Amino acid sequence: MKRIVLDTNVWISGFIIRRSKSSDLVTALIQGRHQGIISNYILGEIERTLSTRRLTFRYQLRREEIISFLLTLQTRLEIVEPINVNLEIRDPKDLPILGTALAGQASHLVTGDRDLLADPKLLAWMREQGVEILPPAELILD
């Protein structure tokens, strides 16, 4: 069983776009086919992002749907406190995502964030820590 952290962008995409690789990953973690790992930091990012006027209007999201989704994640996934990570990366807001993967001893961090996916030093360092950073399309669920 894989231990998987999904970056906020994957959770959002999986929630909004029902027939997508991200949606398949969200479903697999909620159903317990693999161990999903999340932090309150990521939960907060999900809530803030889904609650923006732009997304609620564009996708006609109701507050009840968002709350229900967040409660499902809180009850079905392992919640960890991110480890403090001191790395030089372009966007420091990504550090708690990396810290979540490390704290949860994740085997995979799935993200659509090009900054994370295109940083060879970061990819190598995380791999040394036992975490593979991949885009949604590259994670194979068995």
Give me the helix-helix angle, 40-50 and 63-76, nearest 10°.
160
| pLDDT tens-digit series, residues 49-83 | 999 999 999 999 999 999 999 999 999 999 999 99
- At residue 142 the predicted structure's pLDDT band, cuts being 50, 70 and 90, is confident
pLDDT at 106: 99
pTM: 0.95
| Domains located in the chain, CATH noted | 3-134 (3.40.50.1010)
The pLDDT of residue 26: 98
HEC readout, 31-48 = CCCCEEEEEHHHHHHHHH
Confidence bin at 25 (pLDDT 50/70/90):
very high
Q: Stretch 28-47: mean pLDDT, rounded?
A: 98
State how beta strands 35-39 and 132-134 pair: unpaired
